[in-house]
A = this chain, B = another copy of it.
């Protein structure tokens, strides 16, 4: 990577330091649902053919229905929300962007790479991560104040009633959705931008034709048409988040934030606790700007006992 930044993931580095095979490790360093949408069977031509207009339209239609996208807004599917984040600063002439911190650091990196300045003073653009990562803070529509306002709803599918997608048709508002996290298929690379049609047209040109793979079009379409799975998943994530809180707070940690896909804990020494868990081949997330914050994703059903033992 040109400018490697601090991310979740990075399990490779943990492996190198603490040993073990990759399959031995429990990776709780991200906010990815550990019980993913089951990858369905699909026809072989999903791999071989150039994704056709019909497949793209079918995915977009499913996305519109799932997120109840307002009439005046258009939807673009992309190879991951990250790809959209990298391109969003090109939507406006470079100026001042306000990104309330702490938050997911790719937004600031992308704007800076495009020559923007980070500033809270009369910003030309604003980015809110909704709910915020790692704090879990939810914004409301009063946050949509800049001429270009990006609402990153990568984790918002845990609580669709709090989504701000209803404002996506407002000029200058762009709502981002991630498929990898709630549906747990991060390797698929699928994300969405929802905005006014002229903004979506500009993003489409930046991404080129056929940005999304055949498997992503097909799996995404099926998953976004499955409200039952989504409802069941919300209930399970919520229950598991409670279970994780009970487990971790028993060690003296305090809940500092989060959403049902990840939990943020305040601990005495986050680095020490990360190392303790890593010795048990459990990987977690700490933050360069906090000695006390430890973020944990949810364990998969068969991983709880190992986490409990390691704590």
**Least Cβ distance of A247 to chain B in Å?**
23
With a CB–CB cut-off of 8 A, which chain B residues contact A27? 49
With a CB–CB cut-off of 8 A, which chain B residues contact A208? 80, 82-87, 106, 110
**A299 CB–B CB distance under 8 Å:** no
Q: Assuming the A-B contacts A45-B187, A187-B45, are A53 and B207 also in contact, with contact meaning beta carbons closer than 8 angstroms in the complex?
A: no
Determine if A185 and B32 form an interchain contact, defined as CB atoms under 8 angstroms apart.
Answer: no
Q: Assuming the A-B contacts A12-B52, A54-B12, are A113 and B205 also in contact, with contact meaning beta carbons closer than 8 angstroms in the complex?
A: yes
A45 CA to B82 CA, complexed, in Å: 19
A79 CA to B188 CA, complexed, in Å: 11
Interface bits A43-57 vs B (CB < 8 Å: 1, else 0): 011111111111000
A201 CA to B4 CA, complexed, in Å: 11
Q: Assuming the A-B contacts A208-B106, A210-B82, are A52 and B11 also in contact, with contact meaning beta carbons closer than 8 angstroms in the complex?
A: yes
Segment of A91-99, A122-130, A212-220, A250-258 engaged in the interface with chain B: A212-220
**Least Cβ distance of A187 to chain B in Å?**
3
Chain A, interface residues (CB within 8 Å), range? 35 or more
Determine if A50 and B186 form an interchain contact, defined as CB atoms under 8 angstroms apart.
Answer: yes
Determine if B32 and A50 form an interchain contact, defined as CB atoms under 8 angstroms apart.
Answer: yes
Determine if B48 and A186 form an interchain contact, defined as CB atoms under 8 angstroms apart.
Answer: yes
**Least Cβ distance of A260 to chain B in Å?**
18
**A184 CB–B CB distance under 8 Å:** yes
A207 CA to B84 CA, complexed, in Å: 8
**Which A residues fall within an 8 A CB radius of B?**
1-3, 5, 7-12, 27, 30, 32, 36, 39, 44-54, 79-80, 82-87, 90, 106, 110, 113, 180, 184-189, 200-202, 204-216
